[in-house]
Structure 1
Amino acid sequence: MGCRVCRARKVKCDGRPDGCRNCERLQLDCDDGCRGGGNDSLRRMRTYRSCQNCRLSKTKCSGSRPRCTRCVAKDMDCLYDGEASPRWASSLGRRDEDASLPVADGPESPVVPVPESESPAAAPDPRRGAAPEPDDKVENQLSWLLSPELPTGRNVRRVVEQYFVNVHPLRCFAFVHKPSFMHQLDKGLGSDDESALLHIVCAHGARFLVLGHCLDGHVATPALVRSAGHQWAKRAEFLMLANFGRISMPRLMVAILLHDYYLGAGEYGQALMLSGLAVRMAYALKINQEYNADVLCSEPEPEPGAPSVASRESRRRLMWACYVLDAGAGSGADLLRESDIKIQLPCNERNFGLRIPAVTETLAVGHVLQFLAPAVVPRRPAANMGIMAYYIRLVALWKRIVRCAGLGLGHGQPDSALAALDADLLLWRRELPDFVEYSTETIYARLDSNQLGALVLIHCTYHHNHLELYRVAMPDLFKLASLPAEQRQALQAAQAGCYHHARRISDIVTDAAEHGVRFLSDSQLPFFLYHSSRVMLYYVARLLDPARPGAEAKMREAVEAVESNSRVLRLMAILFPMAQSLSATTDRWLSKVQQTVGRDELVLLPPLSPPRPGAGDESESRPAGWSTVNPNAGGWDGTSPGPPSGPRRASCSLEHERPVAALCEALDLDDLLSWDLYGISTEMGEGVCNDEMDDCVSQSWTGAI
Structure 2
Amino acid sequence: MSRHQFSRPTDGLKPLNVHDTTELLTPRLAWARITKHRDHGLAVAPVVLEKSNVMRDLANAATVLDYDCECVYGESTQPTWMRRVNVTPTGNEDFSPTLPSMRGRLFDQTLSSQEGPPSSLRTSPMSQGFPPVETESSSSPLDWLATNYLPNSSRVAMLVEEYFKNIHPLRAFAFIHKPSFLRRLDGETSKSYHNHALLHIICALGAHETTTPLDPKFVLLAGAKWAKIAQRLILETIDRVTIESLMAAVLLHDYAVRLGNFANAFMLSGLTTRMTQALQINLEYDTDILCQDTENGLPVTAKESRRRLMWSCYIMDALVGSGVDQLTLMDERDIKIQLPCNERNFTQHVPCLTETLHSGSWLKILPEGSDTKTLLPNMGIMAYFIRHVSIRKRVLRYIKHLGDAMVPWDPASEFALLDSDCRSWYDSLPASLQFTPDAMYIRKDTSQLGALCLLHCAHYQTVCDLYRLGAPALYKLRAAFDFPPEQGDFLRHLQQVLFDAARSLATIIGQAAGHGPRMLADSWLPTITYDSCRIMVYHLTQILDPCSENTKALAIATIPLLHSNINALKLMGSLNAIASSLSSAAETMLDRSGIESELVSQNIIPDDPYQSTEEEDASDSLRETPVQSAPDYVLNPLTIYRMARKSIPERHAPERASTTSAPKGKSVGDIGQSPCQVPSNSGAHSGQAELDVEQPSLEELQTLFMSDLGWAWQPADTAVGSGTEGAGLLPWAGGYPITQTQPWLPVFPFPRQS
TM-score, normalised via structure 2 length: 0.64
Which range is displaced more, 541-550 or 189-198?
Answer: 189-198
Q: Is residue 297–residue 308 contact of structure 1 (8 Å, CA) maintained in 2? A: yes
- Where does 1:60-459 land on structure 2 (aligned, <5 Å)? 105-106=87-88, 116=101, 140-188=140-188, 195-208=196-209, 211-212=210-211, 214-215=212-213, 220-299=214-293, 302=296, 306-332=297-323, 333=325, 334-408=328-402, 409-411=405-407, 412-459=409-456
Kindly report the root-mean-square deviation, in angstroms, between the aligned alpha carbons of the 2 structures. 3.8
Structure-1 residue corresponding to 2:752 = none
Is the partner of 1:246 in helix, strand or coil? Answer: coil
Residue by residue, what CA displacement relative to the aligned partner does 1:189-220 show, whole Å, maximum 9, x if unpaired? Answer: 99999711111111111121xx22x23xxxx2
Per-residue deviation, 1:314: 0.2
Per-residue deviation, 1:413: 1.5
Structure-1 residue corresponding to 2:575 = 575
Residues in 2 aligned to 1:307 and 1:353: alpha-carbon distance in whole angstroms? 16
Per-residue deviation, 1:585: 1.0
Residues in 2 aligned to 1:680 and 1:287: alpha-carbon distance in whole angstroms? 30
Residues 656 and 192 of structure 1: is their aligned pair in 2 closer, same or farther, counting only changes over 3 Å? farther
Residues 378 and 693 of structure 1: is their aligned pair in 2 closer, same or farther, counting only changes over 3 Å? same
Letter in 2 for 1:287: I
Residues in 1 aligned to 2:406 and 2:228: alpha-carbon distance in whole angstroms? 47
Residues 300 and 590 of structure 1: is their aligned pair in 2 closer, same or farther, counting only changes over 3 Å? closer
Residues 298 and 101 of structure 1: is their aligned pair in 2 closer, same or farther, counting only changes over 3 Å? closer
Structure-1 residue corresponding to 2:36 = none
Q: Is residue 290–residue 343 contact of structure 1 (8 Å, CA) maintained in 2? A: yes
Q: Is residue 193–residue 239 contact of structure 1 (8 Å, CA) maintained in 2? A: no
Q: Is residue 354–residue 362 contact of structure 2 (8 Å, CA) maintained in 1? A: yes
Unaligned runs of 5+ residues in structure 1 are 4-16, 19-28, 39-99, 120-134, 609-652, 661-672, 701-705
Residues 255 and 139 of structure 1: is their aligned pair in 2 closer, same or farther, counting only changes over 3 Å? farther
Residues in 2 aligned to 1:542 and 1:102: alpha-carbon distance in whole angstroms? 60
Structure-1 residue corresponding to 2:559 = 559
Q: Is residue 510–residue 565 contact of structure 2 (8 Å, CA) maintained in 1? A: yes
Per-residue deviation, 1:560: 2.5
Q: Is residue 449–residue 519 contact of structure 2 (8 Å, CA) maintained in 1? A: yes
Q: Which residue, out of 653, 658, 661, partners 2:620?
A: 658
Q: Does 1:478 align with 2:440?
A: no
Residues in 2 aligned to 1:349 and 1:37: alpha-carbon distance in whole angstroms? 50
Q: Does 1:530 align with 2:565?
A: no
Per-residue deviation, 1:570: 1.5
Structure-2 residue corresponding to 1:35 = 70
Q: Is residue 293–residue 371 contact of structure 1 (8 Å, CA) maintained in 2? A: yes
Q: Is residue 410–residue 416 contact of structure 1 (8 Å, CA) maintained in 2? A: yes
Residues 250 and 547 of structure 1: is their aligned pair in 2 closer, same or farther, counting only changes over 3 Å? same
Residues in 2 aligned to 1:319 and 1:295: alpha-carbon distance in whole angstroms? 16
Residue by residue, what CA displacement relative to the aligned partner does 1:44-103 show, whole Å, maximum 9, x if unpaired? Answer: xxxxxxxxxxxxxxxxxxxxxxxxxxxxxxxxxxxxxxxxxxxxxxxxxxxxxxxx9998
Structure-2 residue corresponding to 1:25 = none
Is the partner of 1:379 in helix, strand or coil? Answer: coil
Q: Is residue 592–residue 604 contact of structure 2 (8 Å, CA) maintained in 1? A: no
Per-residue deviation, 1:574: 1.6
Letter in 1 for 2:424: L
Residues 240 and 104 of structure 1: is their aligned pair in 2 closer, same or farther, counting only changes over 3 Å? closer
Q: Does 1:677 align with 2:635?
A: no
Per-residue deviation, 1:600: 4.2
Higher relative contact order (CA 8 A, sep 6+): 2
Residues in 2 aligned to 1:443 and 1:557: alpha-carbon distance in whole angstroms? 24
Residues in 2 aligned to 1:192 and 1:450: alpha-carbon distance in whole angstroms? 27
Is the partner of 1:501 in helix, strand or coil? Answer: helix
Q: Is residue 502–residue 533 contact of structure 1 (8 Å, CA) maintained in 2? A: yes
Residues in 2 aligned to 1:102 and 1:155: alpha-carbon distance in whole angstroms? 21
Q: Is residue 268–residue 688 contact of structure 1 (8 Å, CA) maintained in 2? A: no
Paired residues, what number?
529
Residues in 2 aligned to 1:261 and 1:607: alpha-carbon distance in whole angstroms? 32
Letter in 1 for 2:510: T
Q: Is residue 250–residue 313 contact of structure 2 (8 Å, CA) maintained in 1? A: yes
Residues 499 and 684 of structure 1: is their aligned pair in 2 closer, same or farther, counting only changes over 3 Å? farther
Q: Is residue 395–residue 465 contact of structure 2 (8 Å, CA) maintained in 1? A: yes
Q: Which residue, out of 452, 457, 460, partners 1:460?
A: 457
Per-residue deviation, 1:227: 1.7
Residues 559 and 202 of structure 1: is their aligned pair in 2 closer, same or farther, counting only changes over 3 Å? same
Q: Is residue 269–residue 693 contact of structure 1 (8 Å, CA) maintained in 2? A: no
Residues in 2 aligned to 1:469 and 1:296: alpha-carbon distance in whole angstroms? 39
Is the partner of 1:335 in helix, strand or coil? Answer: coil
Residues in 2 aligned to 1:222 and 1:590: alpha-carbon distance in whole angstroms? 23
Residue by residue, what CA displacement relative to the aligned partner does 1:329-353 show, whole Å, maximum 9, x if unpaired? Answer: 1112311111100000000001101
More helix by share: 1
Q: Is residue 260–residue 674 contact of structure 2 (8 Å, CA) maintained in 1? A: no
Per-residue deviation, 1:416: 1.0
Residues 32 and 345 of structure 1: is their aligned pair in 2 closer, same or farther, counting only changes over 3 Å? closer
Residue by residue, what CA displacement relative to the aligned partner does 1:401-438 show, whole Å, maximum 9, x if unpaired? Answer: 01111122122311111101110111011110011100
Residues in 1 aligned to 2:603 and 2:160: alpha-carbon distance in whole angstroms? 57
Residues in 1 aligned to 2:373 and 2:240: alpha-carbon distance in whole angstroms? 42
Residues in 2 aligned to 1:659 and 1:587: alpha-carbon distance in whole angstroms? 28
Residues in 2 aligned to 1:234 and 1:383: alpha-carbon distance in whole angstroms? 41
Structure-2 residue corresponding to 1:96 = none
Residues in 2 aligned to 1:118 and 1:183: alpha-carbon distance in whole angstroms? 29
Letter in 2 for 1:365: S
Is the partner of 2:383 in helix, strand or coil? Answer: helix
Q: Does 1:585 align with 2:581?
A: no
Is the partner of 2:140 in helix, strand or coil? Answer: helix
Residues in 1 aligned to 2:358 and 2:489: alpha-carbon distance in whole angstroms? 34
Letter in 1 for 2:619: E
Unaligned runs of 5+ residues in structure 2 are 1-7, 10-40, 43-63, 74-81, 91-97, 105-134, 606-614, 623-633, 647-670, 678-693, 706-754
Residues in 2 aligned to 1:576 and 1:564: alpha-carbon distance in whole angstroms? 18
Letter in 2 for 1:269: A
Residues in 1 aligned to 2:102 and 2:303: alpha-carbon distance in whole angstroms? 50
Q: Is residue 340–residue 354 contact of structure 2 (8 Å, CA) maintained in 1? A: yes
Q: Is residue 581–residue 676 contact of structure 2 (8 Å, CA) maintained in 1? A: no
Residues in 1 aligned to 2:291 and 2:490: alpha-carbon distance in whole angstroms? 53
Letter in 2 for 1:145: L
Residues 33 and 156 of structure 1: is their aligned pair in 2 closer, same or farther, counting only changes over 3 Å? closer
- Where does 1:490-639 land on structure 2 (aligned, <5 Å)? 490-546=490-546, 550-594=550-594, 598-600=597-599
Residues 191 and 251 of structure 1: is their aligned pair in 2 closer, same or farther, counting only changes over 3 Å? farther
